[in-house]
Amino acid sequence: MVAYGIAKARAMANRTDWNERTEITKAVITWFDADYEYELEIENEDRMDNEEFIAWVEEKAESLAKADAESLHTVCEEIDSIDFTEKEIDDDALFDEEYENACEFEWECQTGR
């Protein structure tokens, strides 16, 4: 197994944007019926990349808003906006998790446990 410091240095050398990336975690579709404004939150549960998630939400926004309206026993008359929530990606934490998993796998392979 490669030592932690060496493995992390290699990982960081392969990324010019270490700890500078963001990911979209959810979208909020704001829609109206005849009387009220509603917000429908869509979580990025499948961890799609940003472009893929934006395209998917924009493509499905109308049908998602209509389904939400139906569940609320009303009718979606208009979609006002779609807002996306981003968070920073913690590459250090991701690396630590992957390194720990690799160490555990190697230990299991060597010990048979």
Q: How confident is the model at residue 60 (pLDDT cuts 50, 70, 90)?
A: very high
Q: Is the pLDDT of residue 113 over 90?
A: no
Q: Is the pLDDT of residue 1 over 90?
A: no
Q: Is the pLDDT of residue 80 over 90?
A: yes
Across the chain, mean pLDDT equals 93
Q: Is the pLDDT of residue 22 over 80?
A: yes
pLDDT of residue 50: 95
Dihedrals phi, psi of 46, to nearest 5 degrees: -85, 5
Return the structure tokens found at 72: 């609320």
Give 30: exposed, middle or buried? Use CB within 10 Å, 0-12, 13-18, 19+: middle
Q: Is the pLDDT of residue 112 over 90?
A: no
Give 76: exposed, middle or buried? Use CB within 10 Å, 0-12, 13-18, 19+: buried
